[in-house]
A and B are shown apart, each in its own frame.
Chain A
Amino acid sequence: MNTLTICRKELSSYFRSPIAYGVMAFFALIVGYFFYVAVVFFVRRHLESTMMGQSVPMDVDEWVVRNVLSNVSVVGLFLIPMITMRLFAEEKRTGTIELLMTSPITNIEIIVGKWLAALLLYLAMLALPLISLLSLFAFGKPDWRPLAVGYLGLILQGGCLLAIGAFVSTCTKNQIVAGVAGFGICLLLWVLDWVSSFDSSPLYRVISYVSVTSHYESFSKGVLDSKDAIYYLSMIVLGLFLTGRSMESMRWRA
């Protein structure tokens, strides 16, 4: 109940500031471009192969949906810190955190409420490329299942990065610092994957396992792997747990 109250308040302040509109507009623009490129590329390849007389089987799911979704997951990395940066930093700066923490609500309710609001904004953002992706159904016969799994992956990945971003936001009073630090961490979690190309020593395997993007691959292929789902869910719990610890520590440091 209190969680929903916090969530509603948070959501309304997103849509009252330019943040929600700005993030959604840029996301729509970038993803729209990706979609356009993917579709044009697909159509050209298809035309070429028919003209050459070869009939290479072309799959919309593989060529368009998977491409667009992987790109969306990367763009998400850049935009998520902008969603989470104000969550706690702003409340700390204006002193309203004191109101929340002296109200008869638990820290968990506050944290989950805020995280949920950020997740809802992220979902609204994800709904935008869905419009273009669904238009594929009007012209072709893509399979809806890989698309659904891909979206589930996006939501899980987003939830995990949002939880981490929320944690970063509790560490500072300054939104910009929270944004930049959050972005740095998101970026790092993305590129940690790169070490896997060196060799497959246990250390590199562990490091690349921590990477957020390595777990998205299976989702973008339309494969629902419980290992990856569990990774995301546990990262969400970890992020929210750290947020809780950090909030608790505010009481001791204030």
Chain B
Amino acid sequence: MIKVEGLTKRYARNVAVDNISFEVEKGQIVGFLGPNGAGKTTTMRMLTCFLPPTEGTAEVAGFDILESPMEVKKRIGYLPETPPVYPEMEVIEYLNFVGRIKGVPKSSLKSRIDEVIEKCAVGDVRNKEIGKLSKGYRQRVGLAQAIVHNPDVLILDEPTAGLDPNQIIETRDLIKGLAGGQHTIILSTHILPEVEATCERVIIIAGGKLKATDTVANLTSSLRGVESVAVEVLPRDGTGPAWPSDVQHRLEQVPGVARVVRRESKEDVAHFTVESLQGRHVRPDLAKAVIEGGWHLNELHAVSLSLEEIFLELTGGSHAGHHDESEPGEPVHETNPTEPAAVQSGEQQ
């Protein structure tokens, strides 16, 4: 559905997008992942024929973006980072306008609008001025605008940026609901859990370069074999200062454990990260070991290996990564990327 070949955008002083190639099949939801300034928006603008590429080209729905931009534009729905709405217009009027300029036939315009209003759940504000709507509603109107002409390809630039947690979940569900074989969707984000939550495939770019493209499952599966468990232990009464070493010793003896790393320990609390061997489930045994040793088990949870690791690796974060495909990095966690929702600082604004 989308075929990108050597797409490059060069400005006078920097290269925003550097020789990117990838393909997206029909009906897929693809996450376009990268830190801010990675070239996501520029790539999307080139795909939507807003910016001309310096080199390379792309094919969208069978049409070349350079040779037949009009045909491409007819088949693309695009939601820029800020929804392109006219604040003085009413929702219904705005969708009517967009439907017309996107070339929806007059005979089916009304039914199309009713359909997208229903899909994007903006029925209760259809006669309100867009300028008076909340950000969440405005985003939904933006989505409605993008799908009003029933495009083959949907390009969404950070569709959840600036929304509150409830609105984020709603928007994600909405996007997932739109896929269903009808639309091929590319959405960009700098938030990892978003990709895990909504996308089937992921394209990672950083510094304008393509770092990886694979299914979300594939990218993480190599890491999934090894389980990493965080353990927090409190001392029993009347132990000497060497008690954390005792605990570590005990944990190392649990069958299936590959390595125990003591992260920090004070008088009254000790943290460990335990790595299991491939395919072993060690959490119940770890708990038993601590209890039987007479210590108090304060906390024990699996540290899921999220895209975060891959991401750091590929974008040269903590590990200077030079792999083109993901490999299990050293799963030692300085930070605690367990619950993805908790680290979405970008969404708290």
Using CB atoms and an 8 Å cutoff, list the residues of chain A in contact with chain B.
2, 5-6, 9, 12-13, 16-17, 94-96, 98-105, 251-252, 254
A105 closest partner in B (C-beta): B101
Is B98 at the interface (CB under 8 A from chain A)? yes
Residues of chain B at interface, number, CB under 8 A:
29
- Given contact pairs A5-B101, A12-B93, A103-B98, enumerate 12 new A-B contacts (beta carbons under 8 Å): A13-B89, A17-B88, A94-B84, A94-B87, A95-B82, A99-B80, A100-B101, A102-B49, A102-B78, A105-B101, A251-B52, A254-B45
User: Which of A13, A16, A99 gathers most chain B CB within 10 Å?
Assistant: A99
Cβ–Cβ contact B48 & A16, under 8 A: no
- Report the minimal beta-carbon distance from A103 to chain B, rounded to whole angstroms: 5
Q: Which residues of A contact B283 (CB under 8 A)?
A: none
A6 closest partner in B (C-beta): B101
Q: Which residues of B contact A96 (CB under 8 A)?
A: 84-86
Q: Which residues of A contact B70 (CB under 8 A)?
A: 104
Cβ–Cβ contact A254 & B50, under 8 A: yes
Q: Which residues of B contact A95 (CB under 8 A)?
A: 80-82, 84
Q: Which residues of B contact A100 (CB under 8 A)?
A: 101
- Report the minimal beta-carbon distance from B85 to chain A, rounded to whole angstroms: 7
- Report the minimal beta-carbon distance from B100 to chain A, rounded to whole angstroms: 4
Q: Which residues of B contact A13 (CB under 8 A)?
A: 86, 88-89
Q: Which residues of A contact B51 (CB under 8 A)?
A: 251-252, 254
Contact sample, A vs B, 18 pairs, CB 8 Å cutoff: A13-B88, A13-B89, A96-B84, A96-B85, A96-B86, A99-B84, A99-B98, A102-B48, A102-B49, A103-B101, A103-B102, A104-B70, A104-B71, A104-B73, A104-B101, A104-B103, A105-B101, A251-B52
A to B contact number (C-beta, < 8 Å): 67
B82 closest partner in A (C-beta): A95
Determine the distance from Cα of A252 to Cα of B50 in the docked complex, in whole angstroms.
Answer: 9
Using CB atoms and an 8 Å cutoff, list the residues of chain B in contact with chain A.
45, 48-52, 70-71, 73-74, 76, 78, 80-82, 84-89, 93, 97-98, 100-103, 145
User: Which of B76, B81, B101 gathers most chain A CB within 10 Å?
Assistant: B101
Ranked nearest first, the 9 interchain pairs of A and B with the lowest CB-CB distance are: A99-B84, A104-B73, A96-B84, A5-B100, A102-B48, A104-B74, A16-B88, A103-B101, A102-B78
From the candidates B71, B87, B88, B97, name the one contacting A5 in the complex (CB within 8 A): B97
Q: Which residues of A contact B101 (CB under 8 A)?
A: 2, 5-6, 100, 103-105
Q: Which residues of A contact B93 (CB under 8 A)?
A: 12
User: Which of A2, A9, A103, A254 gathers most chain B CB within 10 Å?
Assistant: A103
Given contacts A2-B101, A98-B80, A103-B102, contact A252 B88 (CB under 8 A): no
Q: Which residues of A contact B48 (CB under 8 A)?
A: 102
A17 closest partner in B (C-beta): B88
Q: Which residues of B contact A252 (CB under 8 A)?
A: 51-52
- Report the minimal beta-carbon distance from A75 to chain B, rounded to whole angstroms: 27
Cβ–Cβ contact B88 & A9, under 8 A: no
B49 closest partner in A (C-beta): A102
A103 closest partner in B (C-beta): B101
B98 closest partner in A (C-beta): A99
Q: Which residues of A contact B71 (CB under 8 A)?
A: 104
A8 closest partner in B (C-beta): B97
Q: Which residues of A contact B89 (CB under 8 A)?
A: 9, 12-13, 16
Cβ–Cβ contact A102 & B76, under 8 A: yes
- Report the minimal beta-carbon distance from A15 to chain B, rounded to whole angstroms: 10
Q: Which residues of A contact B52 (CB under 8 A)?
A: 251-252
